[in-house]
Structure 1
Amino acid sequence: MKAYPASPRPAFCPAHPGALLRKVIAATGKSKVEIAKLLGISRQQLYDILQERAGVTAATAVRLGKPLGIGAEFWARLQVQHDTWLAERDIDTSAIPTIRAA
């Protein structure tokens, strides 16, 4: 069986979705309160994402995708990339064996 090495992860942490969302919201000219109402989420939930204290859930990604015209998958992918990069540095996998096909 041919081995396919994992793609190397970047040396820098991928941006949290909140970092991009701050710029997108600023470009709309709408207030954060207006955006939270449009999305159907609490103002606090939006603030937590914008301040990178909370992640973008699948449900929030769907809500962001429609009015901003970017798509749910984009927001979800940003969050997964950010979380995976952090997890790869926090979790010691050295004791977990690699399973090979028989």
Structure 2
Amino acid sequence: MTRNKQLPVKHPGHVFRERVLNRKGMTISEAAKKLRIYRQYLKNFTEGKAPITVSLASNIALFTGISVEFWVRLQSTYDVYMNSRYHA
């Protein structure tokens, strides 16, 4: 299966912010407490400055019901996209 080239590739942190935090009306601080992670790390993640790790993906999966695999795949797709742009 190939990716639709018309769809933008987003960092998983942006997706998390838009689809989870914004829809739940949560702040970074509130979410960090629920996820049991540092607020600054979550802030960097939602700004696209830090990658998702399997550990963070597991926490997010428990919090949202969205699978670990989804979040890890999103990061992988983003990494491949950014790498291809860099080497183009």
Partner residue in 1 for 2:64: 68
Instruction: Mark the CA change 1:13 to 1:30 in structure 2 (over 3 Å): closer, same or farther.
Output: closer
Tell me the number of residue pairs that the alignment of Structure 1 and Structure 2 aligns: 87
What is the TM-score of this pair, normalised by structure 1? 0.73
Give the structure with higher Rg (CA).
1
Partner residue in 2 for 1:48: 44
Distance 1:43 1:8 in 2: 33
Partner residue in 2 for 1:96: none
What is the TM-score of this pair, normalised by structure 2? 0.83
User: Which structure 1 segments of 5+ residues have no match?
Assistant: 1-6, 93-102
1:90 Cα deviation after fit: 2.8
Q: Greater RCO between the two (CA within 8 Å, min separation 6)? A: 2
Distance 1:17 1:8 in 2: 16
User: Which structure 2 segments of 5+ residues have no match?
Assistant: none
Partner residue in 2 for 1:14: 9
Alignment RMSD (CA, Å): 2.2
Distance 1:33 1:19 in 2: 16
Which of structure 1's runs of 4+ aligned residues deviate more than 2 A? 7-13, 88-92
Amino acid at match of 1:14: V
Identical aligned residues as a percent? 31
Distance 1:11 1:86 in 2: 15
